[in-house]
Structure 1
Amino acid sequence: MNIRKEEFGKLEDGTVFAYSLENDHGVKVTCLDYGCTITKIITPDRNGKFENIVLGYDNLEGYLNNSAYFGSVVGRVAGRIGGAEFTLNGKTYSLEKNENGNHLHGGLKGFDKVIWDVETEEKADEVSVKFSYVSRDGEEGYPGNLKLNVTYTLNNNNELAIQYEGISDAATLLNVTNHSYFNLSGDLKRNILNHELTLKSDQYLELQENLLPTGEYADVEGTPFDFRQGRFIRTGAESEHSQNKLAGGGYDHPFVLNANRNEEIILKDEESGRQMVVETDEVGVVVYTSNQLTGEDAIYGVLPRKHLGICLETQGLPDAVHHANFPSWVLEKDKPFTSVTTFKFGVV
């Protein structure tokens, strides 16, 4: 087990470093102190060939020039807040409008666009990087001074755990996630249409034209949103279902999980043999199949295109602050927040 630190680039307010965590089996996770951004995850296929399974860039400029949130931690609130405002304890707060009059992924300068403080730890059977950041009262419009820790831990069971810990000196909102785009083919050799996804979920959230939830829970039964027995991403991308078409040909939908810490999310790529099992204590997962992915900056030598990656964003349900029937993301004053999502990499 080891951690390697090296310079990745420079910003006006500091130097950005990359931290590479590697276990005794050769599995490697590289992340930046800029946005807690995961740039690479190197895992073997069924033949033992090690390749990268996430989307990212070779240089800092790629992350600065593009807004796809590759591998970053997003917040204070992941997803959209309708109208970029909310009311908390009788006071209305206005947030930065950074997507069609709404607030997306923490605003213009969310957690993905700042340099975090870093501590590293090496043990016999695991290595970890702990990122820390203080989001000041009023930042992007949110109340309260919020201290957040994000810890990435890689162990010898080929598991990557992401732990979030937060506390605020005033009531605020908090709903964070990691926005990695996965492609288990290895080094982006193929798109993700033949990836098979299994979810322990009986319901998903219907979306409006602006991709905000309508507030209605929809049953997956008999639809392209039924992943309970496994389903290829292709079936949704090619579906005529109104919700798949609304999302741009695929998925950009929140699913309500009916199990936690029990192999509730499984992604497989039959051709490479790679499998990733995701376990979380969050209530939901947003499945996004990169339906809107475009641009001219190459992603490790591959031009951006639709369906090149899949995001599995474990989190609270989007726009919950406007829907009383969704679990709340309100973080009360001085009340600790903690959440853990674990990714286990293997082959089948």
Structure 2
Amino acid sequence: MQFSVIRSSHLACAAFIALTMTAPAHAASAQRENAGKLGDGSAVEAITLRAANGVSARILTYGATLQSLIAPDRHGRRADVILGYDDLASYVDHPNYFGVTVGRYANRIANGRFALDGVTYQLPQNNNGQSLHGGGRGFDKALWRVVAVKSGPVAKVVLAHVSPDGDSGYPGTLTTTVTYTLDEKGNLGILFEASSDKPTIVNMTNHALFNMAGEGSAGGAMDNRLTIPARAYTPVTATLIPTGELRPVAGSAFDFRKARRLNDALRDGRDAQIVVGRGYDHNYALDKGVTPTPQLAARLTDPASGRVLEVLSTEPGLQFYSGNFLDGTLIGKHGHLYRMGDGIALEPQKFPDAPNQPGFVSARIDPGKPYRHAMIYRLSVSQ
């Protein structure tokens, strides 16, 4: 399976904005407020984007975190459809990647090592000998700076962060922005952009865990129906590093080309990959590959409420994680204890361990050739 890398451009950026825009009957609003302080006294802000159709998103400057995403059901009843915490202190004291921006490199890098131009770089090994989501002190734990907050036809907030050369072992000073936008159709856009003064690797995404029945619902997310337009996925080793194979999903527990109930194969111990992952924790090679504008990467629905989420992205891969390590020890929103299956992550991105896998789409960027990942959480209702 071949993928081609599409270079970023002003045209592609304009197309992304057009996808998340609609002719405004009402303006969307952006409200900025204090969300508390970190241990060193730094102030954290929350920006809430609201649309007239009942969709709203709350973003924290700590971790550029999507703290809540409110969506109405077919009767207009609103619910928060992502897992997380009610307060800032819990994000700091009990980090679990709920809704955060992950980087510099989302997902895993084998042994925390990669090479560029003959130089080997060592990252923190924070996950069974591997480097995960930037190595433990990644973008999810950074305090991002507010660049702009705007109401209008499309409400938005722009956040910025500079990761210095050598940060967690990565080369190059990386200047990054995350832009959240919300339009009147219920499209929450997230645009990740980064530039470096040295060759380096970048792979950024959002790590929201979804339950379209509503966060904390009694049955969890396992009655949700999932569709992933991918003919192949990347099987993993015992340490959850891709083997390099692109394995067809046909006839397996990993086939979500047609909508499928999440719980159907989650505990299928006959599939060695389900055993290794303790459920799903695997990357899908999306049929669309790399695209200049966001295209469908996943669709998640809750038949009971009618809530629908479509995840669109410009990236070639999608990590599907079924919340396997949620064990009831974390107290989330409204005092809910989160357990396995209470929410799932659908993370568009480059493939895991791409810097060490020559057959995967490259995660390298160079000075003058910046990184760009545009994604959309598109919310709607089925009758």
Q: Shorter chain as normaliser: what TM range?
A: over 0.9
Counterparts of 1:239 and 1:125, CA distance in 2: 47
1:314 matched residue in structure 2: 348
1:192 matched residue in structure 2: 221
1:280 aligns with 2:313: yes
1:254 matched residue in structure 2: 283
Q: How many pairs does the alignment contain?
A: 347
Name the structure with the higher strand share.
1
| Residues 1:262 and 1:335: Cα distance change in structure 2 (over 3 Å) | closer
Q: 2:61 aligns with which of 12, 30, 33?
A: 33
Which AA in structure 2 matches 1:20? T
1:143 aligns with 2:176: no
RMSD of aligned C-alpha atoms?
Answer: 1.2
Alignment of 1:194-343 (within 5 A): 194-240=223-269, 241-248=271-278, 250-259=279-288, 261-300=294-333, 301-343=335-377
CA offset at residue 286 of structure 1? 0.1
CA offset at residue 264 of structure 1? 3.6
Counterparts of 2:341 and 2:297, CA distance in 1: 23
Counterparts of 1:336 and 1:133, CA distance in 2: 15
CA offset at residue 333 of structure 1? 2.0
Counterpart contact for 1:74–1:179, Cα < 8 Å: yes
Counterpart contact for 1:267–1:276, Cα < 8 Å: yes
For the residue of structure 2 that corresponds to 1:87, the secondary structure is: strand
| Residues 1:294 and 1:283: Cα distance change in structure 2 (over 3 Å) | same
CA offset at residue 236 of structure 1? 2.4
CA offset at residue 344 of structure 1? 0.7
- TM-score, normalised to structure 2's length? 0.88
1:8 aligns with 2:35: yes
Mean Cα deviation higher: 196-205 or 239-248: 239-248
Q: 1:69 aligns with which of 87, 92, 97?
A: 97
Counterparts of 1:16 and 1:262, CA distance in 2: 33
2:106 matched residue in structure 1: 78
- TM-score, normalised to structure 1's length? 0.97
Which AA in structure 1 matches 2:146? V
CA offset at residue 257 of structure 1? 0.6
Unaligned runs of 5+ in 2: 1-27
Mean Cα deviation higher: 67-76 or 237-246: 237-246
Counterparts of 1:191 and 1:307, CA distance in 2: 6
CA offset at residue 187 of structure 1? 3.5
For the residue of structure 2 that corresponds to 1:96, the secondary structure is: coil
| Residues 1:138 and 1:264: Cα distance change in structure 2 (over 3 Å) | closer
For the residue of structure 2 that corresponds to 1:140, the secondary structure is: helix
Mean Cα deviation higher: 14-23 or 113-122: 113-122
CA offset at residue 296 of structure 1? 2.9
For the residue of structure 2 that corresponds to 1:237, the secondary structure is: coil
Mean Cα deviation higher: 231-240 or 198-207: 231-240
Unaligned runs of 5+ in 1: none
Counterparts of 2:145 and 2:30, CA distance in 1: 16
Report percent identity of matched pairs: 37
Counterpart contact for 1:204–1:219, Cα < 8 Å: yes
For the residue of structure 2 that corresponds to 1:144, the secondary structure is: coil
Counterparts of 2:362 and 2:329, CA distance in 1: 39
Counterpart contact for 2:298–2:312, Cα < 8 Å: yes
1:173 aligns with 2:209: no
Q: What's the CA shift string for 1:162-196, capped at 9, x where partnerless?
A: 00111000000100110000111123213111111
